[in-house]
């Protein structure tokens, strides 16, 4: 008598399917994890590249700013060493000496003027000192450069048109007189270690004076 093998139960028939589904789930999970890792890696790489790009832009900007600042400083230094700028600084000292004709102010003129030019520029200051006066200083001088000629690398002649207002007052600031002077001047400047020194001053043309 032959024995007929028993039919497998429903659970046993599901085992292969369950195993296959489990494998598929594992494969899907691994694939998803790998994709997430790849996405995270790409995101990190993208952020790193963006950071590098921003750093490069920042470095380029800083370099450009540094170069611009250096160029501006070099230009300002060069302009400050021009004879015209030196002459204006010298006349600024004269204007301050007229407002306060003290020994300290007059001594400061020696840094900008040679002996001959200093003698010319001190005339008004000595007039003020002798009368116990000073210039009120409410109206600054005006200077226009008409011509500038370099006779040698170390010497320059500058012709100017100037207007000076001598609003003379006494020690109590009471007005004594007020004269506005218009004239053309010729300055000779010589290059020195500190820049330029005014060596000589002479009048060019007719001086015009009016009361103010």
Same domain, yes or no, for 92 and 166?
yes
Same domain, yes or no, for 58 and 88?
no
Per-residue model confidence as pLDDT tens digits over 3-48: 445 555 666 667 777 777 777 777 878 788 878 887 878 887 878 7
Half-sphere exposure of 69 (CA within 13 A, CB side): 6
Residue 56: domain span: 8-80
- Structural domain ending residue among the three candidates 80, 99, 132: 80
pLDDT of residue 134: 96
Considering the entire predicted model, what is its pTM?
0.62
- Structural domain ending residue among the three candidates 22, 47, 80: 80
Q: Kindly give the pairing relationship between strand 208-211 and strand 195-203.
A: unpaired
Mean pLDDT of the chain: 83
Same domain, yes or no, for 55 and 91?
no
| CA angle, residues 121, 168, 171, in degrees to nearest 5 | 110
Same domain, yes or no, for 92 and 180?
yes
Better-predicted residue by pLDDT, 187 or 65: 187
- Structural domain ending residue among the three candidates 80, 113, 129: 80
- Determine the average pLDDT of the residues in 109-123: 94
């Amino acid at each position: 008598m032959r024995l007929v093998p028993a039919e497998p139960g429903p659970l046993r028939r599901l085992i292969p399917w369950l195993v296959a589904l489990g494998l598929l789930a594992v494969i899907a999970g691994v694939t998803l994890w790998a994709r997430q890792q790849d996405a995270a890696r790409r995101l990190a790489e993208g952020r790193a590249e963006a950071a590098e790009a921003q750093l490069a832009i920042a470095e380029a900007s800083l370099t450009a700013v540094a170069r611009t600042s250096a160029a501006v400083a070099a230009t300002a230094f060069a302009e400050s060493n021009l004879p015209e700028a030196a002459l204006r600084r010298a006349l600024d000292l004269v204007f301050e000496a007229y407002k306060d004709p003290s020994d300290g102010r007059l001594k400061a003129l020696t840094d900008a003027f040679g002996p001959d030019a200093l003698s010319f520029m001190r005339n008004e200051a000595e007039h003020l000192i002798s009368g116990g006066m000073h210039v009120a200083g409410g109206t600054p001088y005006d200077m226009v450069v008409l011509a500038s000629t370099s006779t040698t690398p170390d010497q320059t002649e500058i012709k100017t048109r100037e207007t000076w207002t001598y609003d003379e007052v006494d020690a109590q600031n009471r007005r004594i007189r007020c004269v506005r002077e218009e004239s053309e001047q010729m300055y000779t400047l010589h290059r020195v270690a500190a820049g330029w020194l005014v060596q000589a001053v002479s009048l060019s043309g007719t001086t015009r004076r009016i009361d103010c």
